[in-house]
């Protein structure tokens, strides 16, 4: 299904999700720290997949930035690969 992205960048998170829903979307792949953070603050993420790459990079940034409160996650599906990469799918509790 094609989706029109015109004007999506300027929309507030809840408005963006309403627009996607109106176009028939039930799920969306969201990527990018700032975007994910804004959707999480609004309680608009139902589940997420985190991927851990086995490389220590020293200093870094928080994955989700500052949050108003802790967010409980329920592990749904862990998957490991011979390279050491691990993906874990979580439901937001």
Domains of the chain: 13-92 (3.40.430.10)
Helix, strand, coil percentages for the chain (3-state, nearest 5): 20, 25, 55
- The residue that leads in pLDDT, 78 or 69, is 78
What value does the mean pLDDT of the chain take?
83
DSSP per position, 62-85? -SS---SS---EEEEEEEE-TTS-
Kindly report, residue by residue over 37-61, the tens digit of the pLDDT. 888 888 888 999 999 888 888 887 7
What separation in angstroms does the CA of 79 have from each of 71, 75, 84?
A: 22, 11, 10
Window from 17-21, 23-27, 62-66, 75-79 with minimum mean pLDDT: 62-66
Predicted confidence at residue 93, as pLDDT, reads 82
> Does the predicted TM-score (pTM) go above 0.75?
no
Model confidence at 82, in pLDDT bands (50, 70, 90)? very high
């Amino acid at each position: 299904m094609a989706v029109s992205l015109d004007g999506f960048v300027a929309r507030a998170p809840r408005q963006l999700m309403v627009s996607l829903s109106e176009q028939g979307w039930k799920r969306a792949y969201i990527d990018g720290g700032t975007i994910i953070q804004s959707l999480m603050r609004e309680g608009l993420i139902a589940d997420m997949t985190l991927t851990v790459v086995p490389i220590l990079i020293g200093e870094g940034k928080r994955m989700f930035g500052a949050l108003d409160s802790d967010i409980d996650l329920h592990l749904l599906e862990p998957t490991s690969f011979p390279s050491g990469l691990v993906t874990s799918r979580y439901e937001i509790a």
